[in-house]
A and B are shown apart, each in its own frame.
Chain A
């Protein structure tokens, strides 16, 4: 039985997430839910001088939603708000319409979720963390 979606990387992020924890010095928090299947995450960020210094999340949901959030947290640490938003836009583009080779490379590990673009039922799971991240930091851009 072949299964492209549940590869080692996804399973690893789902079973042994690096960033699934409470963030004590978090200064920004947002809850994201996927009402159609009940996936939920609470995203916590520590942002200083316009840079995401630390990111973590807690939640409950399918492997796709949790692994995607874990990968997202991993990737945005150390990024400016603009860079993080750009990554989120790229990720959504990859899922919704597809991206170029270069763009896929830019998405690093998140690129392994590309096959979700052919699975309409799983799109919402995959984008949950990224969408929540963007929603959380977009309003902050002007203040920083």
Chain B
């Protein structure tokens, strides 16, 4: 186990050389040198089209890919490596579930419950399934403080419910949802639970079995891995019954003019040449995280969050979304500055070399929903999001700029 302190920054070339404070980790994290080296090594030493060739290089490529799958299974405590399907990102993972499981299992009159806090990636695919299948999307609203009331879910669930889709950590509120309790209720009704882990996977230890998630999705690029590799975990009993989503090479057992027999899971869902380099990078990123361990990661990120929240609490014109307690934020703090539009807020941060994000963060329904409690017509916010390599001085720099914004905008 490596000790997690500011020295971790030396392991990221971009961070080491950057003059900016990078606090947009919810959008994507930076990549450590060891991840980039692993990808380079793969291409320099083992590259071939996996699964196809009999020669040694192709076997090496296949091994590299399948080792990454096994590592991903272990990382989230899946029962079996075959429950891990590689995709491009969390969005593609949800689309796979929606097109394959959703389109084959949802019928006219059925209901799909989606939380109002969802990123559009875990909302639009379900809206599409509902439209095509003449089913209904039912929204599960959080309380004004961002907490989900489990009893409320009980009243929404019915025999018509086929799927419940919810995020583990919201990319705006930052709060962790009680997936375990939700899963119990969902399964009592015989429905299936799809969990979006995009904002959880780099910040807390995930155990899909313990959570009771039937499906769990995430992107590599938000957890120190390259862009273009993601994971769709699905319980094997579901995956085996699901029809393929994409068709093509490498996903069949045999094809004749009349008949196609599909390959076993997970290959059935991985048509075409796969992203071995990305999978290798993801593998290295998981190893990188494990070198520090989630105990240290959580402690450091909470410490940084608490510095941020302590400072923000001192500024009465700053309205923090989702409460001002550290335990309610998992690296994510979205906020509004009274009288200043979020785009102007982010611009001033950018000019001062602090990278934060403004907008609705692909969660428009949530912003509209929260705006009514905040008494504002502004359907957006500014978000700072922390990773384990951020430092106290970066957070202090963020606070400095934040405290100057109203003055710069001509407000007192």
Contacts and interface: CB of A to CB of B under 8 A. Distances in A.
Interface stretch (A49-57, A59-67, A71-79, A105-113): A59-67
Contacts of A8: 410
Q: Pick the most buried of B343, B360, B401, B411: most chain A CB atoms within 10 A of its CB.
A: B343
Contact of B341 (A1, A2, A61, A119): A61
B347 to A, nearest CB: 7
A6 B409 contact: yes
Contacts, number: 55
A60 B410 contact: no
B364 to A, nearest CB: 9
B399 to A, nearest CB: 13
Given A15-B411, A125-B343, A1 B351 contact: yes
A5 interface: yes
Main SS at interface, chain A: mixed
Contact of A3 (B341, B360, B408): B408
A6 B408 CA distance: 7
B348 interface: yes
Interface in B359-411: 359-360, 377-380, 401, 404, 408-411
Interface residues of A, number: 22
Contacts of A63: 340-341, 344, 409
A2 B352 CA distance: 8
B348 A6 contact: yes
A14 interface: yes
Interface in A14-47: 14-15, 37-39
Nearest to B405: A6
A131 interface: no
A62 B359 CA distance: 11
Interface core residue of A2, A11, A37, A39 (most chain B CB under 10 Å): A37
B347 A1 contact: no
Contacts of B377: 60
Contacts of B351: 1-3, 5
A93 to B, nearest CB: 23
The DSSP consensus for interface residues of chain B is: mixed
Contacts of A82: none
For B341, B378, B379, the residue with the greatest tally of chain A CB atoms inside 10 Å of its CB is B341
Contacts of A60: 377-378
A122 interface: yes
Given A37-B380, A122-B347, A1 B409 contact: no
Contacts of B404: 1
Contacts of B410: 6, 8, 11-12, 14-15
A39 B344 CA distance: 12
A38 B360 contact: yes
Q: B344, B352, B359, B409: which has the most chain A beta carbons within 10 Å? A: B344
B19 to A, nearest CB: 14
B360 to A, nearest CB: 7
B53 to A, nearest CB: 45
B257 to A, nearest CB: 48
A1 B343 contact: no
B379 A38 contact: yes
A116 B408 CA distance: 17
A62 B341 contact: yes
B348 A3 contact: yes
B20 to A, nearest CB: 14
A128 B296 CA distance: 47
A120 B411 CA distance: 26
B347 A14 contact: no
Counting from the closest, the 7 A-B pairs by CB-CB distance are: A11-B410, A62-B343, A62-B341, A63-B344, A62-B344, A6-B408, A60-B377
Given A2-B351, A14-B409, A61-B343, 9 more contacts: A3-B408, A6-B348, A11-B410, A12-B410, A60-B377, A62-B341, A62-B344, A119-B347, A121-B347
7 contacts: A6-B408, A11-B410, A14-B410, A15-B409, A15-B411, A60-B377, A62-B342
